[in-house]
Amino acid sequence: MNYKLVSTRDYIGKVLIEMQKKHKNLVVIDSDLASSVKSNEFAEVYPNNFFEMGIAEQSSMSSVCGFAMEGFIPIYVNFSIFVTGTVWTQLRQACYSNFNFKIIGSHPGMDNGPDGATHHALEDIALSRVIPNMTVFTPSDMNELKACVEEALKINGPVYIRTPRDTVPILHDENCSFHTGKAEILEDDGNDIAIIFEGSSSKEAYEGFLSLKELGYKNKLINIRSIKPIDSELINKLSSRVKGIVTVENHNVSGGLNGVISEEIVKSKNNIIVKCVGVNNTFTESGKTSDVKKKYGLSSEKVVEKALEIIKGL
Amino acid sequence: MNIEELKNKSKLYRKTIIEMIYKAKVGHPGGSLSCIDILNVLYNTRIDRSEENKDRLILSKGHVTPALFSVFMDLGYIEKSEINTFRQINSRLQGHPDRNKIKEIDANTGLLGQGLSIGVGAALAKKLKNDNDHNVYVIIGDGEMHEGQIWEALMEGAHYKLNNLIVFLDYNKLSSKGNCNEVMNLEPIHDRIKSFNWHIEEINGNDIEEILQVLEKIDSITDKPKFIIANTIKGKGVSFMENNPKWHSGGLNDEQYKKAIEELN
């Protein structure tokens, strides 16, 4: 792994510019946060295809329906909390119409540390995945983001792409592939624990995996990538092989990654323990992002703790 | 289509609305009857759906599907027999518009306040692809104007000078509870919309001739989006429904049905 830490957010504009070269019918929608989500770089290169709708998230979200109706592929880029929570009924209605649009949510989970609880999107996976027709992707670095957006543009329907704002390790090279409904086994040392993470918690999951390795445990590290549809086949296979699963997410543990995996385990009929690392039914607070994550339950130490609880039968 | 023919169509549509709601035992007769003349004129004289680039109509007050479906039946988009299935299981005729079931529906609406924003997106998209021959029509309700999102979209429409965006406000002045302006006052609505920098017109929205005239008049406005306050009567055409908030939603018994059809004949 290249352990250089980079914010995926910084690449959103570049990825959109690259996509526009192949897909002439892309339009990017903004609600006055282009410089924060880097869609301003797209606006500079393709000003005609960039639409500023003002700090009016609900209207911005509904406007994508109009663009899609006319044959464009609108991409609404904003903070995760706005692009799912603020606009939830507008998003739901757009999905009900099954328009071909994409939303990109930056600043997911606690990635917007200093802004505090109001801006911490700890519910966006839950809010998006529960809507029919919706596909949900969680890329973990800028290279995976590019592959993920490319994949999203192959889908004729709504896709939510959740992009880290905090700095994260670069886990993929430029030519990485991304397939809907397929998870990625990043490391496979053995069948003790399967550590499964969503993109914005890769650092904590990876470091937890390394600490457990030093302690002599042989685990698997899984990048889930596609929250919906989920890789049922892999989860099913894992659940019959490993001693337990630890899910790691920059999200409320209810309704998010842990929720998804638990639902799959129930369906698999394999009796396996699933423990969660993430935020447990609480609002958070302002602070340095790494401090907030640590205080509210997302850390490599928690990954180790939960894995050891399973191994020791606690 | 001449005025006499259009008037006859409104009559037919009103009867179909009553028929549909009577059979379903549920629906929104009041608002369907108030906006039907606008839908009639738009679909029969304005909306070109023959090409890939076409006019759009966003029925933001989505609960008035009986009005939409009565026109669709006449245009042949739905079968006459389907009218009997309105709001019933396995029907294409949903309580609120569903484009997945009927392709002539442009967008799913009914969660109030969202349609005008959809119209803004479509109007911008038409500009971007240089489709200068088609308009985007949006029909909104007065109670719906209490939604904040409407005012977001009003700002956006004016900001982008969307002269291809035409809004009809079905101003029947009654919402579910009663007098719309007592629920939350919209007045002075004319001044308010004007201050948002839209071109504004005010007509009798149940008068076919006035609807035709205003559409012709606003064609020459090229620098602003257009907002038409269409003063209408809720339940228009059925005496016991007119201006009676009780008929915002609900079904008709046999006697009411008979009386309504008699009056509409």
CB B31 within 8 A of CB B69: no
Of chain B, the percentage scoring pLDDT greater than 70 comes to: 100
pLDDT score at A271: 86
pLDDT tens digits, one per residue of B115-169: 999 999 999 999 999 999 999 999 999 999 999 999 999 999 999 999 999 999 9
Tokens standing for residue A164: 């880290």
Element (H, E) at A76: strand A73-79
CB A107 within 8 A of CB A165: yes
pLDDT band, very low/low/confident/very high, at A270 (cuts 50, 70, 90): confident
Q: How far apart are CA A233 and CA B9, in angstroms?
A: 57
Q: Mind telling me how many Å the CA of B44 is from chain A's nearest CA?
A: 22
Q: How do beta strands A135-137 and A226-228 pair?
A: antiparallel
Q: Do A59 and B117 touch (CB under 8 A)?
A: yes
Question: Which of B105, B152, B165 is the best mutation test for A, with the most CBs of A within 10 A?
Answer: B152
Q: Do A63 and B56 touch (CB under 8 A)?
A: no
**B57 and A CB contact within 8 Å:** no
Q: Indicate the average pLDDT of chain B.
A: 97
Q: Is A30 exposed, middle or buried (0-12, 13-18, 19+ CB in 10 A)?
A: buried
A63-97: buried (b, 16+ CB within 10 Å) or exposed (e) per residue?
Answer: bbbbbbbbebbbbbbbbbbbbbbbbbebbbbbbbb
- Residue A38: count other Cβ atoms within 10 Å of its Cβ: 24
Mean pLDDT on A210-233: 98
Mean pLDDT on B228-250: 96
pLDDT score at A1: 55
> Which among B108, B125, B148 is the nearest to A97, CB-wise?
B108
Residue B244 confidence (pLDDT) above 60: yes
**B95 and A CB contact within 8 Å:** no
Q: Indicate the average pLDDT of chain A.
A: 97
Residue A286 confidence (pLDDT) above 80: yes
pLDDT score at A3: 76
Sequence-distant (≥ 6) Cβ neighbours of residue A76 within 8 angstroms: A28, A29, A60, A61, A64, A83, A101, A102, A103, A104
Mean pLDDT on A20-48: 97
Q: Do B121 and A96 touch (CB under 8 A)?
A: no
**B148 and A CB contact within 8 Å:** yes
Q: Is A190 left (phi over 0), alpha (psi -120 to 50) or beta?
A: left
Q: Do A89 and B122 touch (CB under 8 A)?
A: no
Mean pLDDT on A190-206: 98
Q: How far apart are CA A252 and CA A260, in angstroms?
A: 12
Q: Do A27 and B159 touch (CB under 8 A)?
A: no
The CA-atom distances, in angstroms, between B112 and each of A21, A139, A295 are 37, 34, 41
Q: Do A58 and B114 touch (CB under 8 A)?
A: yes
Tokens standing for residue B226: 């257009």
Residue labelled with tokens 């304005």? B46
Q: Do A54 and B155 touch (CB under 8 A)?
A: yes
Helix spans in A130-231 (H): 142-152, 202-214
**B108 and A CB contact within 8 Å:** yes
Alpha-carbon dihedral B12, B15, B20, B24, rounded to 10 degrees: 180
SS3 letters across chain B? CCHHHHHHHHHHHHHHHHHHHHHHCCCCHHHHHHHHHHHHHHHHHHCCCCCCCCCEEEECCHHHHHHHHHHHHHHCCCCHHHHHHCCCCCCCCCCCCCCCCCCCCCCCCCCCCCHHHHHHHHHHHHHHCCCCCCCEEEEEECHHHHCHHHHHHHHHHHHCCCCCEEEEEEECCECCCCEHHHHCCCCCHHHHHHHCCCEEEEEECCCHHHHHHHHHHHCCCCCCCEEEEEECCCCCCCCCCCCCHHHHCCCCCHHHHHHHHHHHC
What's the half-sphere exposure (Cβ side, CA atoms, 13 Å) at B166?
A: 26
Alpha-carbon dihedral B132, B134, B136, B139, rounded to 10 degrees: 140
**B55 and A CB contact within 8 Å:** no
Mean pLDDT on A147-156: 98
Mean pLDDT on A49-76: 98
Of chain B, the percentage scoring pLDDT greater than 90 comes to: 97
Its ipTM equals: 0.96
What residues of chain A lie within 8 A of the CB of B111, using their CB? 89-90, 92-93
Q: How far apart are CA A70 and CA B58, in angstroms?
A: 13
Q: Do B156 and A48 touch (CB under 8 A)?
A: no
Cis omega (within 30 of 0) on the bond before B188? Answer: yes
Residue A247 confidence (pLDDT) above 60: yes
pLDDT score at A130: 98
pLDDT score at A2: 57
The CA-atom distances, in angstroms, between A169 and each of A6, A218, B77 are 6, 22, 55
pLDDT tens digits, one per residue of B80-117: 999 999 999 999 999 999 999 999 999 999 999 999 99
Q: Do B125 and A90 touch (CB under 8 A)?
A: no
User: Does the model's pTM come out above 0.95?
Assistant: yes
What residues of chain B lie within 8 A of the CB of A53, using their CB? 120, 152, 156
Q: Which of residues 127-146 of B touch A (CB under 8 A)?
A: 128-129, 131, 136
pLDDT score at B94: 97
Q: Mind telling me how many Å the CA of A153 is from chain B's nearest CA?
A: 19
Q: How far apart are CA B139 and CA B38, in angstroms?
A: 9
**B164 and A CB contact within 8 Å:** no
pLDDT score at B50: 86
Nearest chain B alpha carbon to A89 = B111
pLDDT score at A156: 98
Residue A266 confidence (pLDDT) above 70: yes
The CA-atom distances, in angstroms, between A170 and each of A2, A3, A140, A259, A266 are 6, 6, 8, 26, 33
Residue A269 confidence (pLDDT) above 90: no
**B159 and A CB contact within 8 Å:** yes
Q: Mind telling me how many Å the CA of A116 is from chain B's nearest CA?
A: 26
CB B205 within 8 A of CB B34: yes
Mean pLDDT on B196-222: 98
Q: How far apart are CA B166 and CA B137, in angstroms?
A: 5
Nearest chain A alpha carbon to B60 = A62
What residues of chain A lie within 8 A of the CB of B126, using their CB? 70
Q: Mind telling me how many Å the CA of B149 is from chain A's nearest CA?
A: 6
Nearest chain A alpha carbon to B58 = A66
Q: Mind telling me how many Å the CA of B160 is from chain A's nearest CA?
A: 10
**B51 and A CB contact within 8 Å:** no
Q: Do B114 and A62 touch (CB under 8 A)?
A: yes
pLDDT score at A299: 98
